[in-house]
Structure 1
Amino acid sequence: MDRPLSRSMPGRAVHADGQVAVARSLPEESPVALVFDGTTQAVMMATPGDIADFAVGFALSEGIISSIAEIEAFEEVSHDRGIEARLWLRADRSKRLLARRRAMAGPVGCGLCGIESLDQALRPLPTVDATTVLSRLDVARATDALSRLQPLRDQTRATHAAGFLQPGKGVVVAREDVGRHNALDKLIGALAQAGTDPATGAFVLTSRLSVELVQKCAFAGCPALIAASAPTSTALRLADEAGITVAAFSRDGGFDLYAHPERVLSGVADVA
């Protein structure tokens, strides 16, 4: 069944000169279980739309698969209390995932059980060596272009978005979600299913830039992140090591450049 992405909810608007009854359109959140070969890998609270994109993007950005060709089948199953996104993997990938699960299982209380989880939090990232070049105007206009592709944000004022910018074309596809990580996973999944190579452009985000977003960018093979807000210092260090350009505070025609500015400051002429 199709689930609504938002609902009208009653409330009271309170001001200095009184109060009035209001009805606000607010975004929905649903538990989404990401199930691989019959075993749940994660349960995320997400906006209940573009679930196939979300599942594929999560599998790619978390390193569960390395390409969409490793997915044999997908099924979305809706329950009263949430959604199951079921993926069946190709036999060789399924065996590797099973081995990974076994390696992560261990005795409780040994004092070392958290080590693998800590390692995963700052896991080694692939190096992104794409030669994609962005003009100053590409970056300066990115978040404004993304803003025009956020109908759920316009309705609720409560969702994040991730968009894919291609040089000279602007933001060509976008996905929305209550979670910034979920929005990026949905975008990565949408690009994979459309056969669009993330190496040919940049990810544009409405949020701050954290470690997890840099990790997802690296595993997707995208060479640049453009954000409306600030990066963390750890995220910048990881981006620099992974070869990812970071442009932050992109709004009102300006931005800050941090890691790998050469992709923008390359001498390529701006196109008005």
Structure 2
Amino acid sequence: MARIAGYGGNVFVGTQVIQTCDVAWSEQVDGDVTLTLDNVDYRVGTGSNKMVQAGALGTGDILASQVISLSTMASLTVGFGWFKSSVNINTLDDYRVLIDNHALCASPEVQLSVPPLVANTWKFCRLVVATGAFSAATAPISVGLKLQANDPGAATIWVDELSAAAEIVGIREWALDVAVGVQDTSSFSDGQNKVFSVTQKEWGGSFSGFKDGAPLGIGTVVALELQESSTSTQMWRGSGIITAVHTSVAVDGIVNYAYDFQGTHELEWPTA
């Protein structure tokens, strides 16, 4: 089990699922894209959308879009999503997630930048606003994926659960526990040597520093960014459930809140 002390980070609440990606998108699919539901290679739910891009797909093309029905997103500030590419995507904003009050993502109210991706590696991505604003997405009915720049040629991109949330506060301190369960799978052929296999991964921890407004409630689902340094890629990212609240008051009268959380789904590890 590893225990990591923290540098800083961010907390996001009010998570709204935009699209689960558990069904194949069908509102529109570009003629240069072959889209299928991948029930084998996915991160959340029961599948991901696998989009095979032909070399003829061009910059500015929408790979695919899907009908959605959401209430206003005006209070939200940032998007999240799982992405994987068969080739390296080296630049922020090569792909964009589109959210539109109109069909077929014809005139998106907000466009979110997909960050760089390492080939054949799933990444839980923070999707920052490139153009538009969540405040304009008052009744979104379409979500899509667009090739914005730097056409990679023939390539495949996978997309899984897209969501959005509101950033509420920075983290002053955090601690994270990452553990794995094992099961004895020894057999007669192993002789006197015990053999173990990984069963389940588990992560959780605590953070403090939230002092604005009302405290987070027990059971609140939050998105977390736990930074190890000022380098943006050196952070742990994932979703957790608040399991405990600890309140204290210093001699100067400042109220401090600390929270315990249990991680849910997969934890995105830092990179160099």
Fold-level match, TM-score > 0.5? no
Judging by fraction of residues, say which structure has more strand: 2
Q: TM-score, normalised by structure 1?
A: 0.29
Greater helix content: 1
Give TM-score scaled by structure 2 length: 0.29
